[in-house]
Amino acid sequence: METNGRTDGNAVIRESGPDLIRSMACFFVVGAHFYLNTGYYDELMAGWKMFVMTAFRWLFVTAVPLFFMLTGYFKKNKKMDRSHYMSLIPLAVSYVVISVAKMILYNRLYGKIYGIKEMFVNLGNYQIAWYMGLYLCVFLLIPFLNKGWYALDKKEQNALIATLIFLCALYPVWNYIAPSYFVGTYPVVFYFLGIAVRDRRWKVNKLILCAVLILTVLCEATISMLFTSVGVFDWSLISTPDGTYGTAFITICTVCVFLLFYDTDIRSKIIRRILSLISKVSFEIYLFAGAYDALIYGCLKRYVTGPVQSFWWFFVTVPLSFICALVSSLIFRFMVDKILLVFNTSLHRG
C-alpha cells in the first residue's frame, strides 16, 4: 500500500527487504485463513499437530502489525496534502469492486446472503474486509501522527513508544497492572515503531532475533495448549477476546520479524521482481484470498474434516490460495491502472 523506495542521490532505489516483509505478511494472512476454514478454533488443544499449528498460528497473526510497521516505515514524511489523500483512491476502488465480486460469489456458494441493501451495508461497515476500515482510520491520522512524532526529541519518542506499549500490549498478559482502555490503538504503536526503524536503522544480531522469535512462538503455543480453560483455543488467555494484535507476545514477534528482514539485500533480479509484484498488490491479495478460500476449503471439506485431519493439506491449500489470489490481483491491478490512466488523461485534456 505504500511506495517502496529510498533515495540515493538523485535515484530512487527499491528496497528488497520491505518487499520481502510485505510478501511474508501476505502469505501469513492466507496462512491464518487456514485456521478459520478448517475448524481449528473448535478443536481440543491436544497433540503435537495442534501444538505445531498453534505455534504457526501465533506467527501468522503478526501479519497485520507488520503491515502497520511498513506503513510507518514508508509514510513517515507524508503531510496533509492532495497527494496523500489521492493515494487512497486505488485502494478504495479495489475494496469496492473486489468486495462486491466476493459477495456475489458467496451468494452463489451459500445461497442468497447479500441483497443490494446488504451489499451497501457490508461495504459501509467493512464486514466483508475489516482491515480496510482499520487502515482507513490510520491513513487519515498519518499526517498528524507524523507531525506529532517529529515534534518530539529522541528521548521523548522512546518514552512515547514505551507508554503506548504499556497501554496496548501488557493488559492481556498482566491484566492486573495495565489498563485495557487503549488496547485497540495498537496500529499507532506499530506505525511509530516503523518510523523509528526507518530513522534509526536498528541493527540487532540476527541469531539473537531468531532465538527470541522462536522462543516466543513456542511460549505462546505452550501457554495456549496447557492453560486453556475452555479446552479449545482460549482467545482471552494471552490475547483479548476480539483477537487484538497488539499484545506483548505478538509485539515481540512482529519486531523480531521486521528487524530480521527489513535490511535484507536480495541480489537476484528475478526474486526482487517477484517480491516487488507481490508487494504492489498486497491489499488485493488480501481481498481475493477470501474468495479463493471459500472455493478451495469448500472442496476440501468434502473429503477432510477438522484441523488435525487437514494438517498436511496446509502445504496445498495455502500456497494454492496465495498463488490464485496473486495472479488475480496482478490482472486486476493492471486493468485498474489502465482505466485510471485513461481517466486522468481525459481530465487533463478537458
Per-residue pLDDT tens over the stretch 104-117:
999 998 888 889 99
pTM above 0.85, yes or no: yes
Residue 328 lies in a domain: yes
What pLDDT is recorded for position 254? 97
Residue 88: in which H helix or E strand, if any?
A: helix 88-110
Residue 1 lies in a domain: no
Q: What is the DSSP letter of 76?
A: T
Whether pLDDT at 4 is above 70: no
Residue 46 lies in a domain: yes
Q: Indicate left, alpha or beta for 112 from its phi (over 0: left) and psi (-120 to 50: alpha).
A: beta
The tens digit of pLDDT for each residue in 255-295 reads 999 999 999 999 999 999 999 999 999 999 999 999 999 99
Burial class (CB in 10 A: 0-12, 13-18, 19+), 200: exposed
Residue 268 lies in a domain: yes
Q: What is the DSSP letter of 8?
A: E
Query: Cell triple for residue 279?
Result: 508487494
Q: Residue 37 belongs to what domain range?
A: 6-349
Residue 145 lies in a domain: yes
Residue 36 lies in a domain: yes
Strands, E assignment, 186-244: none
Higher pLDDT, 2 or 88: 88
What pLDDT is recorded for position 2? 58
Q: What is the DSSP letter of 47?
A: S
Please state the rounded mean pLDDT for residues 85-95. Answer: 92
Residue 187 lies in a domain: yes
Whether pLDDT at 334 is above 80: yes
> What's the rounded Cα separation, in Å, for the pair 30 and 121?
25
Query: Cell triple for residue 50?
Result: 495442534
Report the domain count for the chain: 1
Residue 175 lies in a domain: yes
